[in-house]
Amino acid sequence: MRTKAVAATALLALGLTACGAEIAPGGGATAASAHYPVTVDNCGSRITFPQKPARTVTNDVGITELMLSLGLADRMAGYVMPDDKGRIDQVAWKDGYQRTAWLSRKQITKEIVLDAKADLVLAGWHYGYDEGRGFTPQALKAVGVDAYVLTESCRSGKGAERGVMSPLDALYTDLANLGEIFDVKDRSDRLIADFKAQVAAVPQPERRPSVFLYDSGQDKPYTAGKFAAADEIITKAGGRNVMGDVADSWVTSGWEEVVRRDPEVIVVNDYGDTTADAKRAFLKSFPPLAGVSAVKNDRIFVLDYADLVESPRNPAAITALAAYLRGGRNGGQDSGQNG
């Protein structure tokens, strides 16, 4: 059974409606158009928007849902993402998905962006932008398309390492910036306040169980460092990320480190060609992990990809994981009921 963590986000749909016209019937400027130009800080760069973007292309599920959670489907030319990144038919903004185009189930490219006549791309390093493919903010600006970088993926300036602030702060920063860029600050302020209240309501235990995030990989595990959204989801849920001392976001580790750190709970990232059940079966049958507490005690919890990357699903994921860490089974997400 797949996670139902996203169900709690239904309270946050807020009945948002599309933005109104920016030109009055008589041809005069409305209050909305008077908002521009507007400048925001994005990963240390100042970006100025002379007017409200009209044809945004988003890459990946979490980034797409930043737009949809703010009621901005009418400002989207479409989105790009594989169809293995979690359910999109159970979220509060599923109607937003239905109102915009799924442009590609493969990787985002400059050709897709230009064909969509986009004026803005929302993506991130490792979430679409790739210097090896030549798909970068600079390359887009060279062809007249604005580019915004997902704050979770901001580079630290010390190399390719990502992360410049806590993951939830990254979520709130992007929602606030999008509120300014699209002149929906009332919506973004309300959503941020609701998310903060939801996270603050989660009780924090005196003792934090240790948690390992298993994304993928058999030879070496792919996991979450301190700047990945998963780290703060684990922390705010009352756990301790065993890889939380790694100053990066999503990273490759070694099984010997997992064994040495002996996590009490393993959170499985449910996405990709390998199902959550298959990942769980691997973890339970992999000989080096046989002595790890989480495996011995069958404490394996499943969350969707979209819960674990920066997205409006993060607060609900925190609530769901917190219930599990406190000993609840929470709808059958743990391995005992899923297996």
- pLDDT higher than threshold 80 for residue 10: no
Q: How confident is the model at residue 26 (pLDDT cuts 50, 70, 90)?
A: very low
Q: Which of 282, 309, 319 is nearest to 125 (CA)?
A: 309
Return the pLDDT at 163: 75
* pTM of the complete model: 0.84
Provide the CATH number for the domain around residue 274. Answer: 3.40.50.1980
Beta strands 38-42; 45-49: pairing state: antiparallel
Specify if 58 maps to a domain.
yes
Task: Please state the rounded mean pLDDT for residues 135-153.
Answer: 96
Domain finish residue from 182, 199, 216? 199
The rounded percent of the chain whose pLDDT value lies above 90 is 73
Give the model's confidence band at 219: pLDDT under 50 very low, under 70 low, under 90 confident, else very high.
very high
Q: Are residues 51 and 180 in the same domain?
A: yes
Q: Which domain holds residue 62?
A: 28-199
- pLDDT mean across residues, the chain: 87
Choosing from 176, 199, 222, the residue where a domain stops is: 199
Average pLDDT over residues 229-236: 93
Is 13 a residue whose pLDDT tops 80? Answer: no
Q: How far apart are CA 322 and CA 241, in angstroms?
A: 13
pLDDT higher than threshold 70 for residue 12? no
Tokens of 164: 């410049």
Per-residue pLDDT, averaged over 67-83, amounts to: 95
Token code pair at residue 338: 């899923």
Rg (CA), the chain: 20
**Number of separate domains in the chain:** 2
Look at residue 31 in the predicted model and tell me its pLDDT: 54
Of 199, 230, 265, the residue at which a domain comes to its end is 199
The C-alpha atoms of residue 146 and residue 118 are separated, in whole angstroms, by 9
pLDDT tens for each residue of 246-258: 888 889 999 999 9
- In terms of Cβ atoms closer than 10 Å to its own Cβ (0-12, 13-18, 19+), residue 266 is buried
Q: Cis bond leading into 53, ω under 30°?
A: no
What pLDDT, on a 0 to 100 scale, did the predictor assign at position 24?
40
Structural domain contains residue 33: yes
Residues with Cβ within 8 Å of 276's Cβ and at least 6 positions away in sequence, in order, are 2, 268, 270, 302, 338
Query: In this structure, is residue 251 part of a structural domain?
Result: yes
pLDDT one-digit tens code per residue, 278-335: 999 999 999 999 999 999 999 999 999 999 989 999 999 999 999 999 985 533 344 3
**How does pLDDT run across 160-174, given as a tens digit for each residue?**
777 788 889 999 999
- pLDDT at residue 189 is higher than 90: yes
